Amino acid sequence: GELLTIAEKQGEIRLFAFNPEDGSPLWSQLLGFSENEIAGDLARQWISAQPTVANGVILCPTMTGWIVALDRQSHELLWFHRSPPSKSVAEFQESFLEIKGLRQGWCYTPLIVSDQSVLSTPPDADELICLNLADGSKRWSKPRDKGLYVVGVHQEQVILVEQRKVRALHLSDGAKSWE
């Protein structure tokens, strides 16, 4: 086994693998670069870039708008996806730092994999995105509306928590299932 973490060092965003027995580094893979140093980006300091491993794929959210997928065995790039932000970096940082009771955007949710679907709630975008695990192509996306976070997937239903209710979308196409 390996312990996986995503970190930034000298502007490089990398996936690092460590030996769980002694913490020694095993390997690392470059995922991308950041235009802004993390030391000056409070939003990225507070949001976890947590890798997800499923079906032989390591999914790496970079917290710069990119999701990078690597082959679990070879560590080679399989695909990448960029979600266009709905806010500028400055607007996102400002809204992130405001205290407004329940948030005005997505609460952080790690990438969720169900079957061959990857669900993403980018913190700087106002949509729920479903990608194809095999190639990163977008299957569908839906506006956030009042969604706060995705709980998970149950019987092909994407379960979303809102401020005052819970609702479900069909995993296959994002259509409303129930409220």
As a whole number, mean pLDDT of residues 153-159 equals: 97
pLDDT in the model for residue 85:
63
Query: pLDDT band at 5, cuts 50/70/90?
Result: very high
Which tens digit of pLDDT belongs to each residue from 29-84?
Answer: 999 988 777 666 666 666 778 999 999 999 999 888 889 999 999 999 999 999 77
pLDDT in the model for residue 135:
97
For residues 97 and 71, the model is more confident at 71
pLDDT in the model for residue 102:
45
Lowest mean pLDDT among 120-124, 128-132, 133-137: 120-124
| CA separation, residue 102 to residues 48, 52, 63, 98, 165 (Å) | 19, 26, 21, 11, 13
Lowest mean pLDDT among 33-37, 147-151, 166-170: 33-37
Query: pLDDT band at 170, cuts 50/70/90?
Result: very high
Q: Which residue has the tokens 């194809």?
A: 132
pLDDT in the model for residue 160:
96
Q: Which residues of 2-28 are buried (b: 16+ CB within 10 A; e: fewer)?
A: eebebebeeeebbbbbbeeeeeeeeeb
107 pLDDT more than 90: no
Cα 73-77-79 angle, rounded to 5 deg:
120
pLDDT in the model for residue 26:
97
109 pLDDT more than 70: yes
139 pLDDT more than 80: yes
Q: Which residue has the tokens 């009771």?
A: 101
